[in-house]
A = this chain, B = another copy of it.
């Protein structure tokens, strides 16, 4: 269903790509083949940056691995052996050589970053002999055995599938018995004791010893990385991020460097600019004498890279700029080089081994929408990129974050405590303590705040389901922070004064206890956590936002309208730049409590006279509605859809409402119930609705047309009257005549058009265009009928469809280009053939989906119409679509 999901059917002969001083096979353009990490390691190596040498097994190997029932393609083992030899030559060390052992890291690396989703093995190559050798050669016994125990622990978890708690228990009880609190206090002997216990666990659980053969270790790790592509958490992440399972992951095998060999060693992560605000400051954290995973996992509180960063965050731990000024200068140099080369913000990982800097990774940095705006605008003024590049640089979906309300600064706040402002925006909801609970509550329509000591990839589904995320540990680059920013969820991280008691399902802070279900509010911009619900205000859009939007408006061809029927929505949409209303659903006006009684009387009327009476009571109210909308949209086009839903939708369901209506309509409850039953439909979606209502009850549309045209005579709007659900020329002929006949009593300009929301309408669009002055694609219904899937019922099978890769994206979110899209194209072609200047738009949910907007641009529509908050997204997406054409 998606062009990107087509399986690889031609494979290269080459499976293994080396990088290093002795020659580099890949570059950054080869991301699909080498994964993001592998391609960028190769690119950095070519740029002359200090990258530990290594090689990459391509994503094709992964595809072949799954294609061949988890078996490797022939020739792979020879190619890996060659690459290892090349690596040994460059390093002057040998894998498994006790005298001078080469250690390796084995890491995953997909086309797009999936942070923390897949498995990694470090310190590979250690066994009883090489550990001893490493101790001798490094002169640091403690380091060597610490490395060995780390390797056993990691390998047992990732490759051998043993429970990591068993190993942690050993470590904890050793510390207890020795009465020490920190790992750093364990001596070489202590580690050796622990190693013996670790090996015992492996032998007991598996019935065989921990593998001593370094080649077995290597192939075990490679297999584990490939298999980690199919773990539940990776599958969930791909589903949420629309990553096809066919892409596969690469495996990066690299010489180990050590950030944990002493006080002249360190490891860190950084962004070349602030990923929260977009400011052009070097932004990052490091830990002395640590391995890289320690920073990301958020277990130790990291230190800031720069003095400015340290000050801004009120930290009193020394900055790297202070502790390692020389290496820091090298790192700053790398920062400048990378930005100049990639012309985008980079997210980097580095290790310092004995005062020597090694670059372990670079990739385009994830950023908040606000930061994306600022970075794009700044880079244009810095001359790094063009306006067009800037437009392409901002993810339209991410704008959502900027457009939603933030906390009202004037509202009273009962601040419980403060954490790190990890992802901006305000969120309010019931406290939950597990991802599963967040998901269950979301399904029941309850907004939640997910509260965890720290989050892990297993929590992804709950983070997605929650309104906001709160953690008590971890920094700005912790898992929770990175993922929340990517999702656009507000997040407060590392709120250390809170302690969570999972068992009691409560948390306490400063003597206050907050139970599961209590309402709290997070301010992701300040890091504040408040009790209760706090009032919000509309966001003030930054100058950078306005600048980017102005550029987008200059570049885009598509007009952007909004779907709105209330004055509030219409005003919001106009504020966000809507160029008219593409869909005003008149039925929404019917549901107003003040008028629903007349609507119901109209429906229950046993004859035309009674129906006319009820309709004429509704008419002045409809007219007033339209007038208000027209005034808000003065000078812009407004498309009004005549009544669409089946009439039974307006009838009451509860006993109380039924009784009230029976009294008011002066009929018996029994009679009313039988009338409601009579109007009930087997498949209401395919029933007596849309223009079918007007074929049987023309007086309903006649009333609406009078209300529209009456309002238009008093406002400066030329209404576009839209007939829904037409599938034949004759329906349109009859109803256009009804509109025209009614309009004869008004002196006002208008046009008449139709929705294209049924396959037949698309297939016979030429006939419809003979009468319709415009088409508006109702892609929601068109998707329902083209696929034969009811949106209301899809929940029972659509998730399975996404899990099994049957559909890449929910077709109600992103248009199905091959099926529904082909009907859209047919209708555009046939419609324009019959009426060359027919106006063409789309007003389904897809109007606010960037991928769909790209399709509508290519299909040559005149406008897209979407919900008010998605108008800026659509504006930007339309500009991108025009640039990508």
Contact = CB atoms under 8 A, between A and B. Distances in A.
Given A683-B793, A685-B682, A819-B764, A758 B695 contact: no
A760 B818 CA distance: 8
Contact of A763 (B685, B696, B725, B818): B818
B793 A686 contact: yes
A100 B685 CA distance: 70
A822 B788 contact: no
Given A763-B823, A764-B819, A687 B804 contact: no
A526 interface: no
Contacts of A1: 728, 730
Nearest to A730: B806
B763 A681 contact: no
Contacts of A793: 681-684, 686-688
A781 B789 CA distance: 12
B758 A786 contact: yes
A493 B759 CA distance: 49
A220 interface: no
A803 to B, nearest CB: 10
State the copy count for this chain: 2
Contacts of A818: 763-764, 767
A801 B763 CA distance: 20
A788 B695 contact: no
A694 to B, nearest CB: 10
Given A728-B806, A728-B807, A805-B730, A760 B790 contact: no
Contact of A789 (B684, B686, B792, B822): B686
A818 B787 CA distance: 20
Contacts of A823: 759, 763
B730 A788 contact: no
A780 to B, nearest CB: 12
Contact of A819 (B727, B784, B788): B727
A731 interface: yes
A165 interface: no
Nearest to A693: B797
Interface string A678-705: 0001111111100010011000000000
Contacts of A804: 695, 730, 734
Nearest to A816: B760
A113 interface: no
Contact of A681 (B695, B790, B816, B822): B790
Nearest to A796: B688
Contacts of A730: 1, 804-807
B683 A790 contact: yes
A687 B684 CA distance: 12
B790 A788 contact: no
A581 interface: no
Interface in A798-849: 800-801, 804-807, 816, 818-820, 822-823
Interface string A301-330: 000000000000000000000000000000
Nearest to A760: B819
A280 interface: no
A784 B685 CA distance: 11
A767 B682 CA distance: 32
Given A687-B790, A793-B683, A806 B758 contact: no
Contacts of A800: 695-696
Interface in A719-734: 725, 727-728, 730-731, 734
Interface string A565-600: 000000000000000000000000000000000000
Nearest to A795: B688
A250 B786 CA distance: 44
A763 B785 CA distance: 13
Contacts of A692: 797, 801
Nearest to A798: B692
B760 A820 contact: yes
Given A682-B790, A792-B682, A797-B688, A759 B819 contact: yes
Contacts of A681: 790, 792-793
A725 B786 CA distance: 12
A356 to B, nearest CB: 50
A784 B696 contact: no
Interface in A164-188: none
B792 A683 contact: yes
Contacts of A819: 727, 759-760, 763-764
Contacts of A687: 790, 793, 796
Contacts of A816: 760
A682 B793 CA distance: 6
Contacts of A820: 760
A820 B759 CA distance: 9
Given A682-B792, A683-B684, A796-B687, A759 B734 contact: no
Contacts of A682: 684-685, 790, 792-793
Nearest to A687: B793
Contacts of A686: 683, 685-686, 784-785, 788-790, 793
A852 B1 CA distance: 32
Interface string A212-238: 000000000000000000000000000
A695 B785 contact: no
A1 to B, nearest CB: 6
Nearest to A5: B730
Nearest to A819: B760
Interface in A728-751: 728, 730-731, 734
Interface string A598-637: 0000000000000000000000000000000000000000
Contacts of A757: 788
Contacts of A787: 727, 758, 760
A787 B781 CA distance: 11
A797 B696 contact: yes
Interface in A243-257: none
17 contacts: A681-B790, A681-B792, A681-B793, A682-B792, A682-B793, A685-B790, A686-B686, A688-B793, A727-B819, A728-B806, A730-B807, A731-B806, A734-B804, A759-B788, A760-B786, A760-B816, A764-B819
Given A757-B788, A758-B787, A760-B819, 14 more contacts: A681-B792, A683-B685, A683-B686, A688-B793, A696-B796, A696-B797, A696-B800, A725-B788, A730-B806, A759-B759, A759-B788, A760-B816, A764-B819, A767-B818
Interface of A: 1, 681-688, 692, 695-696, 725, 727-728, 730-731, 734, 757-760, 763-764, 767, 781, 784-790, 792-793, 796-797, 800-801, 804-807, 816, 818-820, 822-823
User: Top 4 nearest A-B pairs by Cβ distance?
Assistant: A686-B790, A683-B790, A760-B819, A682-B792
